[in-house]
Amino acid sequence: MIRMVYYALPLTLALSVITTPASAGGDPNVGKEKSALCAGCHGANGNSANSQFPILAGQYPEYLVRALADYKSGARNNPIMKGMVTGLSPDDMRDLAAYFSSQPSALSSPTNW
């Protein structure tokens, strides 16, 4: 039994690192510096006041990285976003995702369920 725990513990620790929100990588401080252009539509901290633009705050970082990459590749079709992401590197995308995912979301759950 002890032998099994001895072998399972390193694997468990490795997998826990992989599945944390930070697994998308990126530096939220650098992402904040790069987010000025995003604020025009998505709000200063990713909480857009306009329902036409999605709220980025609190979103999963992996989702944000994938969405940005898909806009850049054309897998997602949005001419405005295509123009916004054209100059972004994969590191830029990870930094932006780290920043926006670390922000508190303005969305809330219904209170009278």
pLDDT of residue 92: 98
pLDDT of residue 35: 97
pLDDT of residue 106: 86
Q: pLDDT averaged over consecutive 10-residue blocks of the chain (113 residues)?
A: 52 46 80 96 95 96 98 97 97 98 84 63
pTM of the model: 0.75
pLDDT of residue 23: 55
Q: At what angle do helices 90-102 and 61-73 cross, to 10 degrees?
A: 140
For domain 24-102, give the CATH number. Answer: 1.10.760.10
pLDDT of residue 107: 80
Give the C-alpha separation, 32 to 42, whole Å: 13
pLDDT of residue 110: 63
For 53-112, where are the alpha helices, taking DSSP H only?
61-73, 79-85, 90-102
